[in-house]
Structure 1
Amino acid sequence: MAVNETKTKSSLHLRSNSFPSTSHPLISQFEDNLQRLKSSEGTSSLSSSLICHRLNEMQDLHDCIDRLLQLPIEQQALIQECNEKWVDELLENSLRILDICCTAKDCLLLSKESIHELQSVIRRRGNETGLVIEGVKYLALRKNVKKQIRKALANLKAMKNEFMASSTKKDNNSSPMLGFLKETEAVTLSSLEKLLEFTSDPKGHSKHRRWSAISKLMNPKRAVCDSQESDTNEFEKVDTTLQSLISHKSSSTENFQNDMENLEMCIQDLEIGVEHISRKLIRNRVSLLNIFNH
Structure 2
Amino acid sequence: MASSPLNQKSNFHARSNSLPSRPHPLVTQIDEYLCRLKSNESASSSSPPLTRNLSGLRDLYELVDDLLQLPVIQQSLAQRCNDKQVNELLNESLKLLDVCGVAKDVLLQAKEDTQQLQSILRRRRGTEAGFTNETKEYFASRKKAKKLIRKSLKACKCGFAQLENDGEATFSMLREVERVTFTVFESLYSYIFGSKMESKSTNWSLVSKWMSSKRVTCEGEATETNEFEKVDAVLCTVIGNKIGKSGKMSSDDAQIELQKLESSIQDLEDGVECLLRLLIKTRVSVLNILSQEAFT
TM-score (norm 1): 0.81
Partner of 2:182: 189
Residue by residue over 1:256-277, the C-alpha shift from the partner in whole angstroms, topping out at 9 and shown as x without a partner, is 1110000000110111111111
Q: SS where residue 195 of structure 2 aligns? A: coil
Task: Indicate whether 1:29 and 2:29 are aligned.
Answer: yes
Give the Å deviation of 1:100.
0.8
Task: Answer 1 or 2: which has greater helix percent.
Answer: 1
- Aligned residue for 2:258, secondary structure, equals helix
Within the candidate set 267, 270, 276, 2:268 is matched to 270
- Aligned counterparts of 1:281 and 1:181: Cα–Cα separation in 2: 12
User: 3-state DSSP class of the match of 2:228?
Assistant: helix
Within the candidate set 254, 257, 268, 2:255 is matched to 257
Name 2:158's counterpart in structure 1: 158
SS of residue matched to 1:129: coil
Supply the AA of the counterpart residue of 2:151: K
Letter in 1 for 2:241: H
User: Identity over aligned residues, as a percent?
Assistant: 41
Q: Where does 1:76-155 land on structure 2 (aligned, <5 Å)?
A: 76-125=75-124, 128-155=128-155
Task: Give how far 1:192 is off.
Answer: 0.2
Instruction: For 2:132 and 2:81, locate their aligned partners in 1 and report how far apart those are by CA, in whole Å.
Output: 58
**Uncovered stretches (5+) of structure 2, i.e. residues with no partner:** 9-13, 200-215
Residues 62-111 of structure 1 deviation map (CA, whole Å, 9 limit, x = unaligned)? 11110110000000011114533222222221111101111111111111
Bigger RCO of structures 1 and 2 (CA < 8 A, at least 6 apart): 1
User: Bigger shift: 88-97 or 62-71?
Assistant: 88-97
Q: Answer with 77-86 or 57-66: which moved more.
A: 77-86
Question: Do residues 198 (structure 1) and 191 (structure 2) align?
Answer: yes
Q: Equivalents in 1 of 2:240, 2:157: separation in Å?
A: 37
Deviation at 1:119, TM superposition (A): 0.9
Match of 1:220 in 2: none
Other-structure match for 2:74? 75
Q: How many residues align?
A: 259
Note if contact 2:80-2:86 (Cα within 8 Å) is conserved in structure 1: no
Distance 2:278 2:223 in 1: 29
